[in-house]
Structure 1
Amino acid sequence: MHTARPRQRGFSIVELMVSVVIGLLAVMFATRLMVNGEQSKAASVGGSDAMQNGMLALFSITTDASQAGWGLNDDLLNGCNTRMTDTQGFALAAAMRDGAAITPLAPAVIADGGQGSDSLTLYSGTGLAGVGSTRVWQNYIGGTSIGVDSVAPFGFNQGDVIVVAPEPAGAGCTLAQISAAPAASTLQIAAGAAYRYNTGNLGTNYNGGQARVFNLGAAGKLSFHTWSVANGVLQLRATDLAGTGGQPQAVVGNVVALKAQYGFDTRAGTAFAPKGGMKVGRWSAAMIDADGDGSTGAAGDWQRIAALRIAVIARSAVPERPATRQATCTATTAPLTVFGSAVPAGVNASPAQVALAVPNDTVSWTCYRYRVFETIVPIRNAGWRP
């Protein structure tokens, strides 16, 4: 009599293999889902970072631009090649006039960086008189005293910044600082530790009755600002922020480019009527012969700047990784173009392509996502001239 073997129970090898395969597929899909979720999160967070940084950068610059030109809108000052010294290291922005280097005192001066980032310098004073001025009444041939018609109506105070401008226009201007309480008809510009813009001498002679003195207000509030981008950071040099006169200070990170263009009023003859409002007829990152007098970069061209077109390009804080089986990133595949739209109506666009690579960055620029922020700022003080 044979005893039947008990039937064995459990999983066969086939069933085990099927279970393992199903488990691996589940893990693979779960991993892919998590990876895709993290990539989407990174892209969203990166876009948010770029949005925040770009908006902050553009707001900071446009706030400056909206005030540009206050106190400098007299035809004797606007565009005048100006001499300035500063013990704290701030220097006026350089420009070209018919092939020669000058340092114009104007609402805005752009240093064109080509496909790289530009630098934008914006000037404004704070004098309550705005365009008020007094005349130099005796020859100035050096020294610390400037004889003027009167100081009373124009609010001159010790420590104020002044600019001496020839009349009629054509020669150079000089910036200095009042070093003593003004007398009835004398302004002192002695050198001293408290007077950062003085050397004890204007460095230029002026004939009596042929020069004017303009008051730009207190030195501590003088708003001469230069905005630039270096190594992915928006930077600022300023006369009214301690420690930033000679060395730029970081303002906003992950900003790869600042671009700017002048908006020139190119109307000819009597059609150019700034008191009735300025009108942009041409955009350009470089100075042009806007007034048609045959000279490029003369004072009349600076006085034709009606607006500024400004663009800021910000990038995500965290780079994205290359896609699976790809050696390079594809978050961004080509340089960006700014100023491509034709505004105002009837004015041709002047598009500019911008390189996005940041010097010394170990990560390719193609791994980042970028946002472009553009605006147009009217130079509202340009039309308010005497």
Structure 2
Amino acid sequence: MDVRPQFPVPRAARRAGFSLVELLVSVVVGLLALMFATRLIVSAEQNKATSLGGSDAMQNGMLALFSLNGDAAQSGWGLNDDLITGCNSIFSDTAGFALAPATRGGAAITPLAPVVIESNGANSDRISFYTGSSASAVGSVKLLANYAGGPALTSDTNAAFGFADGDVIVVAPEPAGGNCALAQLAGAPVGAQLNITPGAAYRYNRAGGLGNNYGPGQARIFNLGPGAKLALHSWSVNRGILLLRSSDLAGSSAQPVSVIDNVVAIKAQYGFETRAIANYSPSRNGMQVGQWSGPMIDADGDGVVGGAGDFLRVAAVRLAVVARSKSAEKPNAASGQCTASTAKPVLFSSQAPATVPAAPVTVEVAVAGDPLDWKCYRYRVFEAIVPIRNAEWRP
């Protein structure tokens, strides 16, 4: 028989589970933990988006600058004779390509030159690079007979050596001062005769011939190489996309094609040789940059802005690409304003070479049609200086 005293067990002790207070405390702790976890995830995602956006801008900007740099390095091949560089040129292309416009003494021209910059102030420039592909570089023959239109040209030598069917030629007045004309050889030369008859296979020929007259012995005929390899390239930016209009890329002659996205601006400056040297010649005096300028200047001091001598004085080109992050960052919660970027990029602010004053440019990075403020994006600037080496390797 159990004689241990019996004590009543409290009702609360017989009950299992949590009290209401304990349950509420648990819910609050759980909500706090969820809030901190959410903040941590959101912050991590924001940092990830920022990092990936910076990576995208780095990749796109470097690729864009590499493309422009490559064109600039090769520009001027076959176009660096004093008779050709800067010559106002008559040009026709059934595929739709057009030479970049410029001005000479206030008059509109379309010059042949290694680089032509259509400077647009704070807005993005259009930059054109022209390159031939002839194995003979700037080899030429003299125009023997009078030319007053038509499909036949007569040289002073056997043109079968150095000219072939489909080659693009430039007829340049000698001495310099008149208009140049481009055409394409329709068939192999026959002795000293060159044929420029129009045809579906000869896109650079026009009805009626060159469109300019040349007297006997008053012009030279230069060979730029096969028409399929004639590299006339114009780079531009529209709505945050880098565009290329090209004579040697199918489908891009009449209208530019998209190359790289999230590139908001490209800018360029001529690097002019400005030394006042009597009878200046690159082969004797070399070339060095004395002034940077986006617009053309009177570099040779002849009183005419945009003359052929000014294009002959272009020793280098300074290039800049501005790329932006792919994703926009959210506005500040307190102000409702974006603060990812607070100032527009300033390009060309450093002196290079050290003795040449910089010509800084604040560039416009807002993209037309974008509903977001430009300050919601991060930007990266890429710059390079490219010597126009073919300008110095002049005959």
TM-score interval (norm. to shorter): over 0.9
User: What is the aligned partner in structure 2 of residue 221 from structure 1?
Assistant: 229
- Partner SS for 2:350: coil
> Is 1:70 aligned to 2:77, yes or no?
yes
- Listed one character per residue, the Cα deviations across residues 90-144 of structure 1 (whole Å, up to 9, x for unaligned) are 0000001111110000000011122111010000101111111111111101111
In structure 2, distance between residues paired with 1:362 and 1:380: 43
- Partner SS for 2:237: strand
1:37-186 pair list within 5 angstroms: 37-152=44-159, 155-186=162-193
Aligned pairs, how many? 385
Displacement of 1:365 in angstroms is 1.7
8 Å CA contact 1:236, 1:244 repeated in 2: yes
In structure 1, stretches of 5+ residues that fail to align are: none
In structure 2, distance between residues paired with 1:158 and 1:13: 96
Match of 2:309 among 279, 300, 304: 300
In structure 1, distance between residues paired with 2:80 and 2:51: 45
**What percent of counterpart residues are identical?**
59
User: What is the aligned partner in structure 2 of residue 208 from structure 1?
Assistant: 216
Deviates more, 1:70-79 or 1:10-19: 10-19
User: What is the aligned partner in structure 1 of residue 12 from structure 2?
Assistant: 8
Match of 2:360 among 351, 356, 360: 351
In structure 2, distance between residues paired with 1:40 and 1:75: 55
- Partner SS for 1:60: helix
8 Å CA contact 1:254, 1:315 repeated in 2: yes
Displacement of 1:363 in angstroms is 2.4
In structure 2, stretches of 5+ residues that fail to align are: 1-6
8 Å CA contact 1:132, 1:154 repeated in 2: no
User: What is the aligned partner in structure 2 of residue 287 from structure 1?
Assistant: 296
- Listed one character per residue, the Cα deviations across residues 338-358 of structure 1 (whole Å, up to 9, x for unaligned) are 111111110000011111111
Which residue type is aligned with residue 231 of structure 2?
S
* TM-score (structure 2 length as normaliser): 0.94
8 Å CA contact 1:265, 1:280 repeated in 2: yes
8 Å CA contact 2:169, 2:224 repeated in 1: yes
In structure 2, distance between residues paired with 1:249 and 1:232: 13
Larger Rg: 2
> Is 1:262 aligned to 2:265, yes or no?
no
User: What is the aligned partner in structure 1 of residue 3 from structure 2?
Assistant: none
User: What is the aligned partner in structure 2 of residue 31 from structure 1?
Assistant: 38
In structure 1, distance between residues paired with 2:267 and 2:158: 42
Displacement of 1:359 in angstroms is 0.9
8 Å CA contact 1:95, 1:101 repeated in 2: yes
1:311-350 pair list within 5 angstroms: 311-350=320-359
Deviates more, 1:289-298 or 1:323-332: 323-332
User: What is the aligned partner in structure 2 of residue 377 from structure 1?
Assistant: 386
In structure 2, distance between residues paired with 1:261 and 1:189: 37
